[in-house]
Amino acid sequence: MNAVWIVLSREYLTRVKKKSFIIMTILGPILVALFYGLIGYVASRESDSDEVYEVLLHDAGGSIAPRFTHAEGFRFTFTNASEDSVRRMLLQERYSGFLNIRDVDLNALDSVEFIAMELPGPAQKRTLERSLDSILRADRLKKAGLSQGFLDSLKTPIRIQTLELGKDGTMVNSIAEVRGGMGFLMAAIIYIFIFMYGVMVMRSVQEEKTNRIVEILVSSVKPFHLMLGKITGIALVALTQFVIWIVLSVGLMTLLSGIIAVPSGNAGAAGMPMQTGGLPGIMQAFMALPFLKIGGLFLFYFLGGYLLYASFLAAIGAAVDQETDTQQFMFPVTIPLVFAFVIASKVAFDDPNSSLAVWTSIIPFTSPIVMVVRSAFDVPWWQMALSMVSLVITFLLMVWLSGKIYRTGLLMYGKKVSWKELFKWLWYKD
């Protein structure tokens, strides 16, 4: 195992000393925070566009146009001109569009057209639809002898306070969206790191094979030990970067919580924690997450998922001579990983205990992504145990199989490798 340690040390030290690694390690949490902050800002703010669509309006029935005087972002001008005249006015850019209401029966507006040289976006289209809907709804309410004010008075604002009961009888604030967001963030980190550092393993193997350096290495190191050294060395690089990110992120979160002044969890009456709204409430729910369990599962699946897929990619790098040849092998290998990330987005914000979520969190090829999302929720212990055991067994099996491909392909040059050839390598005797 001394040879594995030598390869591991070389792979680790040559990468952590690079300026690019140091810069991205320091800037990583800041860039991620800015990225999510920008997404939240764009999603929460309303459009500040001052553009107003000057729209010609034709109403065949004549009952909508007199009341369709405004819609946000639009200004209407009623017209009975022919369609040819309207088309000429649009081509001359005198108006931005033409809204043609062909319906006479107002039970359902299914013959409405909007003609323009530059069509409005989906949000503007929904604005028009809502404005038309409000006019027709008002007509129906009037015929039924009701008013909009009466219907509004029937609406009851409801806000459900979610409290999680612990085994010791204590209750803490719990917001499902916070748990889902935390789980999805961890899944995204694992997804990115597996791809980023797994491909790094593959390219490192391929570079040494192309430069014939590997011929010197295998004279003193067994191919299997060389593969393990590379995989574990780069895994430590990823883990080092992630640990530094965690330390910096915790510092930023501590600073943020101090600025926001998160209220105490036992401020409510009768031992009930106070549920606050807005960002303080979110921070309070975030601080109540089971970080020890989440952190432990994240670390396990972070390493397990990386080691599983890195062994595949190392074998691919040893089997091919050119980077363009890797695509035919990478695609089927990474499909489960991409599928798991798609499932994770549904699990995080929909139902973490659905049958799809449970089984994909147990299957080893998808569990590193899906189970970390579910770890933010209450997962039965037997599901976690079954998932972890399955991942370990599959990892050991895949490392053994990948090692056989790695050993055979490492010194093979100038031959196009097919899937059939790879399967033959699996049965070669040591």
What span, in angstroms and rounded, lies between the C-alpha atoms of 311 and 364?
A: 14
Structure tokens at 423: 């399967």
DSSP state, residue 417:
-
Residue 234 in tokens = 């780069």
* Dihedral in degrees, nearest 10, Cα atoms 246, 250, 253, 259: -150
**From residue 214, how far is each of 172, 241, 272 by CA, in Å?**
56, 27, 64
- 15 within 8 A of 234, measured Cβ to Cβ: yes
Cα torsion through 238, 244, 246, 247, rounded to 10: 170
CATH number of 53-151: 3.40.190.10
pLDDT at 44: 54
Question: What does the chain come to in residues?
Answer: 430
Q: What pLDDT score does 265 carry? A: 44
CA–CA separation, 427 and 123 (whole Å): 59
Q: How many CA within 13 A on the CB side of residue 284? A: 24
* Residue 429: predicted pLDDT: 65
Interior angle at CA 42, CA 39 and CA 45, nearest 5: 140
Query: Can you give the pLDDT of all 430 residues of the chain as single tens digits?
Result: 677 788 788 788 888 888 878 887 887 777 767 766 676 666 555 444 556 778 888 887 777 777 776 677 788 888 888 888 888 888 888 888 888 887 766 666 667 888 888 777 777 788 888 888 888 787 778 777 777 777 777 676 666 555 555 555 554 445 566 777 777 888 888 888 888 888 888 888 877 777 767 667 766 777 777 788 888 888 888 888 878 887 887 777 666 555 544 444 444 444 444 444 455 555 656 666 667 778 888 889 988 898 888 888 888 887 776 766 677 778 888 888 889 888 888 776 677 778 888 898 899 999 999 888 888 777 888 998 999 999 999 988 888 888 777 777 776 766 677 777 777 777 766 5
Phi/psi of residue 290, each to 5°? -75, 80
Would you kindly state where each structural domain of the chain is located, as residue ranges? 2-35+164-426, 53-151
Structure tokens, 219: 């004279």
Work out the end-to-end distance of the chain between its first and last CA atoms, rounded to an integer number of angstroms.
18
How far is 302 from 369, CA to CA, in rounded Å? 9
Q: What is the dihedral of CA 404, 410, 413, 419, to 10 degrees?
A: 30
Rounded to whole angstroms, how far apart are CA atoms 174 and 282?
9
DSSP state letter for 274: P
- Element (DSSP H or E) covering residue 164: strand 163-165
166 contacts 191 by C-beta, under 8 angstroms: no
Q: b/e per residue, 124-160, with b = 16+ CB within 10 A?
A: beebbeebbeeeeeeeeeeeeeeeeeeeeeeeeeeee
Task: Of 422, 419, 429, give the one whose Cα is nearest residue 402.
Answer: 422
